[in-house]
Amino acid sequence: MRPGLWQVLIVVALIVVLFGAKKIPDLARALGKAKGEFKKGLAEGAKEEAEAEAAAAKSEPVKELA
C-alpha cells in the first residue's frame, strides 16, 4: 500500500515544524551518508562471508554421506 498525497504532505509539514526549514538539508545529507555507509557495510560483510566460505571449502575435504 503506497501513501497518498495528503499523507506525504502531512509528514513533510510535521518535519518542517519539528526541525525547521534550515535544518532539513543537514538532515537529508546525514541520511544520505548513513545510507551510503550502510550499503558499504553490507557489501563488505557479504565479501567477507564469501571469502570465509571459499577458505573453508579449500581447507576441509568434503565428507561423503553414508
pLDDT score of 61: 64
What does the alpha-carbon distance between residue 26 and residue 49 come to, in Å, rounded to a whole number? 35
Residue 64's pLDDT band (cuts 50, 70, 90): low
pLDDT value of residue 57: 78
pLDDT at 45 over 80: yes
Neighbours of 24 (CB within 10 A): 13
How many of the other CB atoms lie within 10 Å of CB of 66? Answer: 3
The residue extents of the domains of the chain are 15-48
Determine the Cα–Cα distance for residues 58 and 62; give it in Å rounded to an integer: 9
Residue 58: the pLDDT is 81
Contact indicator for 24, 15 with CB cutoff of 8 Å: yes
Is the pTM value of this prediction over 0.75?
A: no
Phi–psi pair at 2, nearest 5 degrees: -95, 145
**pLDDT of 38 strictly over 60:** yes
